[in-house]
Structure 1
């Protein structure tokens, strides 16, 4: 079976070959990268790290590790960008695994080139409006306040009743936003703390776009500790579709 992405990039699963008919570029993947790409294409909505490590490595008698997986994901992303400018096809799902960007169409075809089925259809983007952006942001802030209240108590409501998130730091595709002003002398330590948590939870700022919301109380600023940060995938200018929180133990 072969796959066609966006009508131009062909992936021959048997030959491990990527080819773009528009620019005549071709590239042969390694056996590991080919198996990995196959599993991603079979599971466009999402696949766990455990599944990939087992199917791509362990079942073939190879050593499975997150480091190996991350390296081959990076290799695939580079190849896809070089051949067809598909740098955003593979999305990282922190704490879970990987998924394919819904903005790209993927079709499964037979050896003769006849389409078997559409694996993934592109999503139709409507003209953005400010109303849904403000509504989604307001809803997220309310949810975030509720989460922090469960951790810190009712004092959060009085402290943040009229608070708007402020951009604190940008690193590639990740934008850090804080709900509390942080003194200049503590900014670098706070940035290092949040970025460390992002890396530990496999958030890929190189290829994914996230708004990262966090709050540091005065006590936590002094000890460089905090209890929770929340991430929202930002693909529509602030109209968040996927948000989740990471609790720090």
Structure 2
């Protein structure tokens, strides 16, 4: 992925990169120094508004408040002193940042400032945080869905393998109600269940002397 990396060249000799606060001399690139985040924002703001008298309130808003931070006059004075010392170490005088009494500060116009924009590759660690968070959210949703499928499968397998309860077992009382027939002819075997009941009732109503010899006994139902 490609991105834009902006550099400022101060007085043709000093490179300043606001992205990470790196500042170095053109002849000593391996000897970079790094400003703090607030110092880097402050120097970049001065460079972009050089030649203008900037009030403290405007600086507070641009460097701290717009990022959800707060500062004070004492803190601002300390950062101004730090920038002056850093620029002096690179051969620039303390007059680069001028104090305007009761008004604010002025970045000198005596220095030449050149802006250079270069394309550079952005590594995975530099990708927007929102993209990484989106991937994490999708991964969590997939894991939850997979867990749900596993739970449903376990529940179904348990339901199928669960044996019938005792209430579904054949009644022991029913086993005591037996009707024993012997020597039944082929015609009675073809009767439907309802016809068999009618046939048994008809036989019971007959007189004793007419009782068929084929029916030996019928055990009573104890239910």
TM-score interval (norm. to shorter): 0.3 to 0.5
Higher strand share: 1
Q: TM-score, normalised by structure 2?
A: 0.47
Whose helix fraction is larger, Structure 1's or Structure 2's? 2
Larger radius of gyration, structure 1 or 2? 2
